Amino acid sequence: MIKKFIRKILGVKDQRDATEPTILGPAEHGIDPKNVSSNAIRVTQTLQEAGFKAFVVGGAVRDLLLGVKPKDFDIATDATPEQVKKLFRRAFIIGRRFQIVHVMFGQDLLEVTTFRGNGSDNAPKDEHGRVLRDNSFGPQHEDAARRDFTINAMYYDPATQSVLDYHGGIEDIRAKTLRIIGMPEARYREDPVRMLRVVRFAAKLGFTIEPTTRAPIPVMAPLIDNVPAARVFDEMLKLLLSGHALACLKELRSAGLHHGLLPLLDVVLEQPIGMKFVTLALDSTDSRVKAGKGVSPGFLFASLLWHQVLEKWTAYRAAGEAPIPALHLAADAVLETQTENLALQRRIATDMRDIWAMQPRFERRAGRAPYKLLEHPRFRAGYDFLLLRCQSGELPAEVGEWWTEFYAAEGGDRERLVAAANTREREGGATNGAPKKRRPRRGPRKSSGEGGAAPAAAAGSEE
């Protein structure tokens, strides 16, 4: 009662009090039924025929209203997880913090959730107010109040082609405004990851964050440190693979959320070479996402953290370490720090190490070294990384051009390129007054045919 009085005095509307939705018909919302997944229709229809309510909900409805075909479809229903599971042959209840049902149709996965009730006040929480576990169910209007943003709290019924809007989400979509439901401070305490979601949606959709929604973020940003690292990593990956990665990182920085996640972002984005390198990497990632191509998380994080590795690599070499051991020490130091912050999976960290470790090998273009490097299972990722370094001005463009030509060439053309590299190396060595010692040959020289087979192996290892 006191809270409502204070909100009234301050002029703050608490959308969570809404119990009756605004119902919009096809002519008002303009959703194209062809953009709705046939499997989503099948799930809602099955639930409705069994006597339950069922709607497409959340981001899928938002995207449909924006005229975009959603990649994923979530379903909300008043059926319990156990009741949902009984209706579908391939259905699995998962989750401890929030129970959901995964319904499978071939490779297509749909998440079905039961309407949540306002049980968060009594749910177990940590000392900072983050909800640890809450599986209380309730009516649909309470489920809408539990959702994070107004634009994600709408329900679409494929059977009637109607949209139920409890919190003015359709108005915010039309105004391109991102607004949290309820009091921002309380909602961020319940789940600090919402602060990262605000940034991702604002950057991805090109929406403006409503002032009341944005205001607490800089002060409450440290709460993200209390979230399990695996959840933060998942959210960061969604952010970086949104197709608007650079915009997301700039928004993260603007909101003061990057500290502890990518703490060198300030430094990188203020250095001309670093800024250009990160921009090129993220532009490439965004282009691949928009074209529907796969993106390697290892390559992405290797790019974001490269200048941190480069700085430490330089420091270790200046302290007397040999180049290759110095690079491994630098990689170890960076990964140790970032694994604590982002819970980088071992597979991703291994990919990052491989990409970084290959970089000095690209500068050795004489003898059999280039042929051996082509056989590396991660060659293509390392080569793409090299091209970014050349494009950003970190390395001479000639290095990338040589490898591009060598990669595409075959047999005798490759030998010609290597011979030319040998000549340049000898001339460079004489100029420096310290010619390189040539290693004695071991056994007969391989034929050009063996070298020519390497690109096929490399191409097969592309992500």
**Domain containing residue 140: CATH number:** 3.30.460.10
Residue 18, pLDDT > 50, answer yes
Contact 56, 73 (CB under 8 A): yes
The mean pLDDT value for 255-274 works out to 68
Which one is predicted more confidently, 137 or 343? Answer: 137
In a domain, 271, yes or no: no
The reply to whether 31 and 157 lie within a common domain is yes
Mean pLDDT score across all residues of the chain: 84
**Band of the pLDDT at 235, cuts 50, 70, 90?**
confident
The reply to whether 237 and 375 lie within a common domain is no
CATH of the domain at 348: 1.10.3090.10
Whether 172 is a known active-site residue: answer no
Q: Give the predicted TM-score (pTM) of the model.
A: 0.74
| Number of domains making up the chain | 3
The reply to whether 158 and 193 lie within a common domain is no
List Cβ neighbours of 323 (8 Å cut-off, separation of 6 or more).
317, 360
In a domain, 106, yes or no: yes
Angle formed by the axes of helices 397-408 and 411-432, to 10°? 150
Nearest to 56 by CA among 156, 164, 147, 143: 156
The reply to whether 123 and 166 lie within a common domain is yes
Pick the catalytic residue from 63, 78, 143, 148: 148
The reply to whether 135 and 43 lie within a common domain is yes
Q: How far apart are CA 353 and CA 338, in angstroms?
A: 13
pLDDT at residue 264 in the model:
55
In a domain, 213, yes or no: yes
Q: Which of 175, 198, 224 is the last residue of a domain?
A: 175
In a domain, 436, yes or no: no
In a domain, 344, yes or no: yes
Show the domain range for 228: 189-261
The reply to whether 316 and 356 lie within a common domain is yes
In a domain, 461, yes or no: no
Q: How far apart are CA 270 and CA 230, in angstroms?
A: 29
Which one is predicted more confidently, 113 or 264? Answer: 113
In a domain, 180, yes or no: no
The reply to whether 351 and 253 lie within a common domain is no
The reply to whether 254 and 161 lie within a common domain is no
The reply to whether 19 and 151 lie within a common domain is yes
48 burial via Cβ count (<10 Å: 0-12, 13-18, 19+): middle
Rounded percentage of the chain residues whose pLDDT exceeds 70: 81
Whether 74 is a known active-site residue: answer yes
In a domain, 282, yes or no: no
The reply to whether 59 and 5 lie within a common domain is yes
The reply to whether 140 and 8 lie within a common domain is yes
Pick the catalytic residue from 14, 72, 234, 413: 72
Q: What is the tens place of the pLDDT at every residue in 345-401? A: 889 999 999 999 999 999 999 888 999 999 999 999 999 999 999 999 999 999 999
The reply to whether 164 and 195 lie within a common domain is no
**Band of the pLDDT at 4, cuts 50, 70, 90?**
very low
Pick the catalytic residue from 74, 134, 286, 354: 74
CATH of the domain at 224: 1.10.110
Nearest to 252 by CA among 212, 198, 177: 198
